[in-house]
A = this chain, B = another copy of it.
Amino acid sequence: MHFNPSQTLSDIAKLVNAEYDGDPNFPITGINEIHRVENGDVTFVDHPKYYDKALKSNASTIIINKKLNRPNGKALIYSDDPFRDFVKIIKKFKPFEPSSSMISPTAEVGEGTIIQPGVFIGNNVKIGKNCLIHANASIYDHSVIGDNVIIHSGAVIGSDGFYFKRRPEYQDKLESGGLVIIEDNVEIGACCTIDRGVTGNTVIGWGTKMDNHIHVGHDTLIGKNCLFAAQVGIAGCVIIEDDVILWGQVGVQKDLTIGKGAVVLGQSGIAKSLKGGIAYFGSPVQEARQKMKEIAALKNLPDMFKKLR
């Protein structure tokens, strides 16, 4: 999420009422959580385990709950609760604005695009040319949709990321300030849900086709010409490269990469990054050939136990 206009270190520190270490005029051009941080961004860290990762990341400014040595060329903001202050910044720059009509007057809709009845289009949404948005789909604020995109009924584009910090008494929500970008020629099936990035973008790449009931988590980046069958679930901060095929009900855990052209058979569960160009199966997933051998062996196991006894 970029700030427009750009902010300074003293602006942001003042907003969260915190001390800082750095030039007051040090520029802060945006905000991102640690997996998607870019140069110029402010990010946050509140666990010693991740201090080093945050300080060495692309972030230029880090909100942190310990006074450490400031790395060269970076700025620090000291907070007793970096998560709370990070949320405060997101809320300030991306506040929720209620809509009073099904299609916001600030939405832009390209030539030749058909919007069926009952579709909700939020504030500042951009939709390209020659799209077809079927009845009762919902598109949250700030979503960006390319040309020739088909979105089926009941689909939800831009719902909040699922990201909570456990407090002693409750689950504290990281507000989502990012957005969804759907590139040209994508098809989104009925009742799919694409969460927006918490600070970055969730991207569905050129020509990717999704069947029904698919979930895509916040900040996940999906490549071109992928094919996902029904009821696939993909967590947040995942990278799926081009030409990947996921068959029905596959589950993908957060923060991993699936290489170009990988094919994952139905109901598989992916907990680690996968190399491209290979077929996989199982929960947890393995190379399909290896998994098939295990399945064959398991079939013989009851008999073998009998013999061994």
Contacts and interface: CB of A to CB of B under 8 A. Distances in A.
Interface of A: 96, 98-102, 114, 116-118, 120, 122, 132, 134-138, 140, 150, 152-156, 159-160, 162, 164, 170-171, 173, 185, 187, 189-191, 193, 195, 207-209, 211-213, 215, 217, 225, 227, 229-231, 233, 235, 248-249, 251, 253, 266-267, 269, 271, 283-284, 286, 290, 293-302, 304-305, 308
A299 B294 contact: yes
Contacts of A266: 251, 253, 269, 271, 283
Contact of A233 (B132, B187, B193, B213): B213
Given A152-B159, A230-B233, 5 more contacts: A154-B156, A213-B233, A231-B233, A266-B283, A267-B267
Contacts of A185: 170
Contacts of A99: 116-117, 135
A154 B138 CA distance: 8
Specify the main secondary structure of chain A where it touches its partner. loop
A100 B118 CA distance: 10
Given A153-B120, A217-B230, A297-B305, A189 B212 contact: no
B211 A162 contact: yes
The list of the 5 closest CB pairs from A to B, nearest first, reads A120-B135, A138-B153, A156-B190, A159-B190, A162-B211
A154 B193 contact: yes
Contact of A305 (B155, B171, B304, B305): B304
Given A135-B138, A249-B233, A298-B301, A227 B156 contact: no
A22 B230 CA distance: 41
A173 B294 CA distance: 37
Contacts of A164: 209, 227
